[in-house]
Amino acid sequence: MNPFKRKIIVVGGSAAGPAAAAKAKRINPENEVILYEAGNYISIGTCEIPYVLSGEIESVDKIIFFTPETFEKEKGVKVKINHHVEAIDRQKKKIFVRDLRTQKILEDNYDKLILCTGSLKKIHPEFRTGLKNLFYLKTVDDVKSIQNYLRNNVINSALVIGAGYTGLEALEFVKKIASTAYLADVVDLPLQGYDYEIRRILLDKIIEKGIEFIPDAKEIKPFEKDDKVNRVKIGKRQIEVDFVLITIGFEPNNALAKTANLSLNSPFGSIKVDEKQKTSDENIYAAGDCCGVKEFITKKTKWIPLASFAHDQGHVAGTNAAGGFETFDFVVRNVAFRFFDLNIAMVGLTTNEIEEENIKFHEVSHLGNSKIRIMPGGVKHFVKIKYRKDNKQIVSANLIGGDDIVGKANLISFAIKNNLPITKFYETNFVYTPTLSPLIETLSILAKKSGD
């Protein structure tokens, strides 16, 4: 018997779970690693889901990167899908699992346990479950349900509730299936947390695409006919709908951690972990959207559910559960998404977080171009950076434009993580070639403005 051999159980099979399980097996191939997943699939590209529906990705199968069989063959991890872990006995180091196909309760013991239970979609309280034309967007099963409905029903009017990332990305496919499209949100402009200028540019694009934005939609009442939503009252107006998609956000899936009395973060309810991804129980780790991250600028625990963070946290949790040593660093929020032909990115803090932290800042902005103006194919972009008054370190950036904004966002993220002041961009020797870049890089222009 190998004294270093461990039995490691991973709960959850989205981004963090497979990363944790595979890493735990790589650290010590002698380890017995088992992954339990309540759903039908593991290793799913959930961020790609809107583009399956729009047809840009040709099949939902393309975003399922491993089957249980291929994962076990390639990674050496035993996978059990349709198995819901319902409880943990921390004293006996045992879990209780319901086989969803037989409804039998099974028991399994562990040396180390890794919780990768992810996040849950928020359910709108005014819409009952079971309505045939009401959908949420989170899982492969959600995609298949929408696709099946669209095959058999004609959609004239569609309503998306929630103007965050998911709702905005979903509008590309919604606009394809419906001649009339509405987007509603409780706030006055789409994309809460971004700067006003970005939100206005985005609203102009929404209008340009023939989508009606309904702001301040705090009071929503659906009306039903034949188990479908046929009308929705929003404030004082009513609209007829054939298809409703709700994208009002997500929350940590902490039910299992709660029943096990593991420590949670306030106010979001994410699982509290240390730099090794260890929970308040020395034999239980957590990774991914179910737990918090330490944000670099504020040094506070935040809930920032991003697949890249989940994957990295999974690696750290898998390493440490297997007896290795690895830590997960402070993070800089760096997120981007596409809305039709616009790319939008945010780096650092949201507008609300800056206000909460009472950060004294200056801001600079610039409307630039991806190429020198005389070259064809250039795309305009708008970049706004906020930086501290005292040391000129960047606290936030909002960017909107073409593909080139992603590179700028990554540079800004690098500057934040390395405590570089915005003025360093003016000292940087940016590449210039007429076919790919402007004569003067926008980040350099912004740095110059910050010094004036």
Q: What is the pLDDT of residue 375?
A: 93
Chain segment 135-149, per-residue pLDDT in tens: 999 999 999 999 999
pLDDT at 3 over 80: no
Q: What is the pLDDT of residue 377?
A: 92
Q: What is the pLDDT of residue 108?
A: 98
Q: What is the pLDDT of residue 1?
A: 41
pLDDT at 404 over 50: yes
Q: Report d(CA 274, CA 118) in Å as an integer.
A: 18
Average pLDDT in the chain: 96
- Mean pLDDT, rounded, for 290-302: 97
Model confidence at 4, pLDDT cuts 50, 70, 90, reads confident
Burial of residue 1, with CB atoms counted within 10 A of its CB: 0-12 exposed, 13-18 middle, 19 or more buried: exposed
Q: What is the pTM of this model?
A: 0.94
Model confidence at 2, pLDDT cuts 50, 70, 90, reads low
**Reported CATH class of domain 123-248:** alpha beta
Q: Which fold has domain 7-118+253-321?
A: FAD/NAD(P)-binding domain (3.50.50)
Share of the chain above pLDDT 90, in %: 97
Q: Which CATH architecture has domain 334-451?
A: 3-Layer(bba) Sandwich (3.50)
Model confidence at 46, pLDDT cuts 50, 70, 90, reads confident
Q: Which segments of the chain belong to CATH 3.50.50.60?
A: 7-118+253-321, 123-248, 334-451
- Mean pLDDT, rounded, for 115-119: 97
> Angle at Cα 90 formed by Cα 88 and Cα 94, nearest 5°?
55
